Amino acid sequence: MGNIVRLAKSDVKRLFANVVSTVVTLGLVLLPSVFAWYNTIACWDVFDNTGNLTVAVANVDEGYESELVPLPVNVGEQVVSALRANDQIDWVFTTEDDAVDGARAGRYYAAVVIPPQFSRDMLTFYASDSGHASIVYYVNEKKNAIAPKITDQGADAVSYQVNQVFAQTLAEVSTGLVHAIGATADDAGLKDAASGLAERLRDGADEIDGCRTVASSYAALIGSLEGVLENANALAAATSERLGDTMDAAAGAASPLLSMGDEAKASADAMDAALATSVQAYQGLLDSFDDPFGTAGQTADQAKSSLTTYAALLRDDADRYRDLAASLDGLKAGLPKVETTVGTHLVQAATAQVDDATARILRAAAALDDVAESFDAAASKAADGSDALAAKRETARQTLVDARDAMADAQQSFEAKAKPKLDDVAAKAGAAMDKAKALRDSLDVASAEASEAIGKAGGAVTATKDKLTAADGALSEVSAKLRDAADAMDTALATGDESALQAIIGSDLAKLSHALSAPVAVERVAVYPVENFGSAMAPLYTTLALYIGSLLILVVLKPAPSAAQCRELADPKPYQLYLGRFGVMAFLSLLQTTVMGLGNLLFLQVQAADPVLFMLVFWVAGLVFTFIIYTLVVSFANLGKAVAVILLIVQVTGCGGSYPLQILPGFIQAISPWLPATHVVDALREAMMGPCQNDYWIALGKLTLFVVPMLLLGLVLRKPLEKFMAWYVEKVESSKVVG
């Protein structure tokens, strides 16, 4: 760090070591500012001096006098009179030959020729075979690049003057016609013509009344549409309400089905489990069938008691099976009366299967009664001896087997047929309820959308009706005025009162001519207004001056320190020499930019919304430009200077300082963001005309990013290039021409 500071200080001292070096230093500091100030002052108010551009005007218009309007009219002369009062261009009024020859020879920048048929074309614009009235415009585009564009504006001014004069001429011709009619009111023919004009006015009023009738009819029609929309809205609401009620009723009807289905599913599960348990229990009784009939050592009384007990239990089971059958009948009777096709089918199928299950369960109960009777019969034979008991045992066994089979059949039939149907009822009922809810939600949404659409349509219809009603009122006023004007004209002609005729027509035509000559007024609102053209061009010329100043520094100063300077340093490293030598470059750059910036503010007094930000751009831009050129020259010697000059050439147009980038060729638009001058121009405009959000700091940040690749080149990549550059310098110097 010490070597860098020591080298920079010694370089700065050498700038003012003697008179010559001081003069050279002052020249380096002032020359860029002179370049910027000179070009900015030169274009300070260029468009305020367009009055010095000479444009010839030749009027050869022959005028026109129609049979309808027996007054000579020369629109060309009136245009010339209007242009004499226009000082935007130096108009020279001359002959057609002189105007054309002068434009060709360069005495005039352009020439305007008003042709002989100009008035005729202007005043017969209503004819079916008429065309545009033409003015011949000659421009000398060789004389100057910008002048033709400015004189084109002059041609537009001529066109505007013609249009304005034409509107005023129509009013003046009409007023002259009225004057002639009034002055010769005693002439029967002219009286007839004036009467015909009054009659035409009445015809026009009749036509307008017809338009009123149409407008009124449309208004009435649209008024009836309001009622239609109101009825449609009420109908949509009623329909939505009725559909909603229907859906609610359907949901209410389905609710018992859903509830029944849930209960049926629970009951079916319980019944299925009970039947299966019974089948297993009686199979167990068969497996231990000998127990109730007695075992070895058991007395006859004991066997009788066991058989009687088993018979009572079997009768109890039979009673429970009959109760189960009664429950199934109750479940069938509790099925709701559903009117839907799907619901009816489900209930009928479930009812059929429940009937079948009930019948099978009753058969199983009857079989149990038979088993109980066989057990009672066996008990009565227990006292008669073992032989009689053995005969009854086989009968009881067979009866028990039949009962078990009947119960197994009832259980299998219930599980395979009735229970799935009841489960299906529950599932279908739940799905139906879900669909009903979804349909009801869709119905609510559709009803809301329909109501909104009808409301919007109603608003549009009401607005249209109001406009038609207003148009009817305006047409009524126009019709009344036309009839009043016709009546007043008849009265004035009858009395021969010329002043009355002029009062009737002249005053209204004066207002009409004024409105036609300038129908639209443009209110210009400048966003970030620029005080003058010099301030608008200052960013371009200042940026170029900053870059040229940095280039001059590297032309005058050597990029590398001398051997004597290196000996004064303590073992200097290449990067220390690189950064230390830049110190004097940065010092000169700061002097240049400070003088240029203060000169723009105090001497030229360019527009500057924020002087601090304005000066900051100068300092940052000067340092970045100088560092870029310094690194190129240090790395590539004279070849680096050539690259810097090429970069200057590209930036003159590519930075967007004069022409908008959007109208330039595509390749210039593509390279513009990669040019440092582009971001300097953007930052200067933000500081001068007013910043917008963070655009100023974004432009300044993009500018400083150009330092990064230059540091990479100067500190890292320069070392591998040293041998090539030494060879290149040696070959150049060996030519004895280029040093």
Side chain identity at residue 191, one-letter code: K
Residue 455 has pLDDT above 60, yes or no: yes
pLDDT, tens digit, 9 for 90 and up, residues 347-376: 666 677 777 777 777 787 787 778 778 777
Residue 718: inside a domain: yes
Mean local confidence (pLDDT), 681-699: 94
**Are 276 and 408 in the same domain?**
yes
CA distances 369 to 156, 290, 308, 309, 375, Å, are 122, 20, 13, 14, 10
CA distances 543 to 539, 657, 671, 703, Å, are 6, 9, 17, 12
Q: What are phi and psi of 58, to 5 degrees?
A: -120, 120
Q: What is the spatial distance between Cα 127 and Cα 347, in angstroms, rounded to a whole number? A: 88
Residue 68: inside a domain: yes
Contacts of 587 (CB under 8 A, 6+ apart): 8, 11, 12, 15
The count of structural domains within the chain is 3
**Are 58 and 182 in the same domain?**
yes
End position of a domain, from candidates 426, 443, 460? 443
Q: What is the spatial distance between Cα 502 and Cα 185, in angstroms, rounded to a whole number? A: 13
User: Of 385 and 178, which is predicted with more confidence?
Assistant: 385
Residue 668 has pLDDT above 50, yes or no: yes
Mean pLDDT of the chain: 75
B/e letters for 691-723, b = 16+ CB within 10 Å, e = fewer, are: beeeebeebbebbeebeeebeebbeeebeeeee
**Enclosing H/E stretch for 423:** helix 419-495
Secondary structure class of 59 (helix, strand, coil): strand
CB 302 within 8 A of CB 359: no
Mean pLDDT lowest for which of 15-19, 68-72, 566-570, 608-612? 68-72
Residue 419 sits in which domain range?
256-443
Q: Which residues is 57 bridged to in the sheet?
A: 93, 112
Residue 432 has pLDDT above 80, yes or no: no
Residue 203: inside a domain: no
3-state secondary structure 76-129: HHHHHHHHHCCCCCEEEECCHHHHHHHHHHCCCCEEEEECCCHHHHHHCCCCCC
**Are 706 and 653 in the same domain?**
yes
**Are 80 and 21 in the same domain?**
no
Q: What is the spatial distance between Cα 133 and Cα 124, in angstroms, rounded to a whole number? A: 10
**Are 427 and 335 in the same domain?**
yes
**Beta strand 110-114 pairing with 54-59:** parallel
Residues in the chain: 739
**Are 357 and 505 in the same domain?**
no
Alpha-carbon Rg for the chain in angstroms: 56
At residue 251, the pLDDT reads 53
Q: Which range has the top average pLDDT, 122-126, 452-456, 492-496, 695-699?
A: 695-699
CB 122 within 8 A of CB 114: no
User: Of 219 and 88, which is predicted with more confidence?
Assistant: 88
Q: 526: which 2 tokens?
A: 């400048």
**Are 146 and 276 in the same domain?**
no
- Distance in angstroms between the alpha carbons of the first and the last residue of the chain: 33
At residue 132, the pLDDT reads 64
Residue 666 has pLDDT above 80, yes or no: yes
For residue 216, the Cα-to-chain-centroid distance in whole angstroms is 40
Q: What is the spatial distance between Cα 182 and Cα 492, in angstroms, rounded to a whole number? A: 8
- Residue of 408, 664, 677, 639 whose CA lies nearest to 545: 677
Residue 230: inside a domain: no
**Are 89 and 10 in the same domain?**
no
| CATH number of the CATH domain containing 68 | 3.40.1710
- Residue of 419, 429, 420 whose CA lies nearest to 261: 429
- Residue of 419, 276, 403 whose CA lies nearest to 354: 419
At residue 679, the pLDDT reads 96
**Are 302 and 325 in the same domain?**
yes
User: Of 187 and 699, which is predicted with more confidence?
Assistant: 699
Q: Which range has the top average pLDDT, 251-265, 405-419, 586-600?
A: 586-600
Q: Identify the DSSP state of 64.
A: B
pLDDT, tens digit, 9 for 90 and up, residues 177-200: 445 444 544 444 445 555 666 676
Mean local confidence (pLDDT), 712-729: 84
For residue 566, the Cα-to-chain-centroid distance in whole angstroms is 64
Residue 302: inside a domain: yes
**Are 596 and 725 in the same domain?**
yes
Residue 400: inside a domain: yes
CB 268 within 8 A of CB 422: yes
> Tokens 């087997």 map to which residue?
401
pLDDT tier at 174 (50, 70, 90 boundaries)?
very low
Q: Identify the DSSP state of 572.
A: -
Mean pLDDT lowest for which of 27-41, 347-361, 503-517? 503-517
- Residue of 699, 693, 695, 664 whose CA lies nearest to 678: 699
Q: 76: which 2 tokens?
A: 């060309």
End position of a domain, from candidates 400, 424, 443? 443
pLDDT, tens digit, 9 for 90 and up, residues 527-568: 788 888 889 999 999 999 999 999 999 999 988 888 888 888
pLDDT, tens digit, 9 for 90 and up, residues 264-317: 556 566 666 666 666 666 666 666 655 555 554 455 666 667 767 777 777 887
Residue 669: inside a domain: yes
Residue 397 has pLDDT above 70, yes or no: yes
**Are 611 and 586 in the same domain?**
yes
At residue 513, the pLDDT reads 47
Residue 459: inside a domain: no
At residue 259, the pLDDT reads 53
pLDDT tier at 512 (50, 70, 90 boundaries)?
very low
Mean pLDDT lowest for which of 235-249, 435-449, 456-470? 235-249
**Helices (DSSP H) in 288-299: which residue ranges?**
none
Residue 4 has pLDDT above 80, yes or no: yes
**Are 426 and 285 in the same domain?**
yes
